[in-house]
Amino acid sequence: VSGEHPVDVIVVGSGVVGLSIARELGRAGITTSCIGPGHDGDGAASAAAGAMLGALGEVTAGAAGEPERDELLLRLAAAAAYPGFVDELEDETGRTVARGSGTVVVANLVNEQDRANLRAISATAHEHGVRVEDVDPDEVAGLNPARGYEAVGACHLPDEGWVDTSELLVALAYAVRTGERTDLERATVSGIRTDGGRVVGVELADGTVRGASTVVLAAGVAVQELLDGIGEPVGPLPGLLPGKGVSIRVRAPELAVPHVIRTPNRDFACGTHVVPRGDGSTYIGATNRVSATPGAGPGITPGELHSLLNSAIHEINTGFRTAEYLTSCFGLRPLTTDHHPLVGATAVPGLFVATGTYRNGVLLAPELARVVTEELTGRAPHNPFRPDAPFRRGRVRREEMLDAVDAGMRDLVSFLVEPGGHLPYNRHRELRTFLQALGRGAACGGDTAEFRRMRELLERYPIAEMVPQVFYEITTDRRPA
């Protein structure tokens, strides 16, 4: 391949991950070109993030496997290193990047999981020696929920921070564009070039090529398409799905507080959260629609804006109702099919991936950059999320599928009764248990006690009335997960 300016490394993608990697490689003395259409195009996840630096706020009750623990440790390491990362970036570029520390997590009765997640956050903070304190929700500055949505518990994580992503991206892009060993090219990569099975460069959408002996795919959810087009065995990699998230910005100086206020993770998303911005505005996030669910296509739906605003106004601060509306934005979070980040060398010599950051890419970007840089400079970093990590082999075990069904059905029911709705009595728990039993049966080919019982009843009494019979048998026999 005859590239115009052959470099050591090409980083594909100019979101927070690609830019952080290119900058770090340059600092390590590796000539690097970062290629991407810009960090703020439609669908770029980085531009849609607030962003919380949510090491502990992202803890979810019951997620206790080894990869979950490794990911927590990665988030904690990233959070501890973040102030230094931003300080250096500011020194290097002469630009300011607004950030701060302090996150208040509030639990209310809208979502049953809130209190369990709040307890898990506090317990995990204690376990890892991170400062946490229970606070009276009435004393939290900026928290003024509507009647019926009052918080029933809150904890303050004084060291859990936030960063203004728009200022961060501008500073990172500047650092890469002006770095001694780095450059930033505004272009789209249409394919990866290989020769004799190893990477030799990339082809751009206009047909020109750029040569490099190493290519790092850091194009967020678009990494999947680039991998699919290679035509070489890239190894058994997890798939990538888009988790579309919508966020908005409002101006309400009287409501602005210098810390994050968030609910815990809930209903497939990272809760409702408000994050300060450097220009005095307030960021409100975020929804999550994965893959082919209704509304997951490009663009922002009225339903997404409604659920975001409904939650922020009722659960965080009724004052947002009269704030000045500024902008809305959507981004596609890169979600791997095993739920964990994906970083390191693939089976194609010279080809690396760095993605799968899902809800935490702004926080994790400097850590991914460190891992890639250490690998490319011959050090062997501790990297539990490399493509051939042991936990990735032989996945989709029965237990994992059943766990996914249980959590998915729980969140589905909870999600369906939002916003503001609820089923009478204990109906949502019964429905959840019923759907979990059906989902578990379906996931393992119908070979569960509930499925056998259902077949037995329907064979004997092939009438619709048998469905409630099964429903009550299942929901009274089993405790909901």
User: Which positions lie near ligand FAD, rule CB under 6 A?
Assistant: 12-18, 35-37, 39, 41, 44-46, 48-52, 54, 188-189, 218-220, 222, 226, 245, 247, 285-286, 331-334, 355, 357-363
Cα gap 469→227, rounded to integer Å? 49
Residue 247 Cβ, how far from ligand FAD at the closest point, in Å? Answer: 4
Between 59 and 226, CB nearer to ligand FAD? 226
Cα gap 63→358, rounded to integer Å? 16
Between 212 and 363, CB nearer to ligand FAD? 363
**What CA–CA distances, in Å, run from 210 to 6, 32, 337, 373, 469?**
7, 11, 31, 21, 65
Residue 20 Cβ, how far from ligand FAD at the closest point, in Å? Answer: 8
Between 190 and 469, CB nearer to ligand FAD? 190
Residue 466 Cβ, how far from ligand FAD at the closest point, in Å? Answer: 44
Place of tokens 């409702």: 272
Take residue 248 and report the two structure tokens written for it.
Answer: 């908005």
Residue 354 Cβ, how far from ligand FAD at the closest point, in Å? Answer: 7
Residue 451: which H helix or E strand, with range?
Answer: helix 449-460
Between 175 and 437, CB nearer to ligand FAD? 175
Residue 205 Cβ, how far from ligand FAD at the closest point, in Å? Answer: 8
Place of tokens 């002006």: 178
Residue 13 Cβ, how far from ligand FAD at the closest point, in Å? Answer: 3
Q: DSSP letter at 280?
A: S
Cα gap 54→161, rounded to integer Å? 7
Between 42 and 134, CB nearer to ligand FAD? 42
Between 15 and 441, CB nearer to ligand FAD? 15
Place of tokens 């060993």: 181
Burial classification of residue 223, based on how many CB atoms lie within 10 Å of its CB (0-12 exposed, 13-18 middle, 19 or more buried): buried
Identity at 15, one-letter amino acid code: G
Task: Say if residues 234 and 225 touch (Cβ distance below 8 Å).
Answer: no
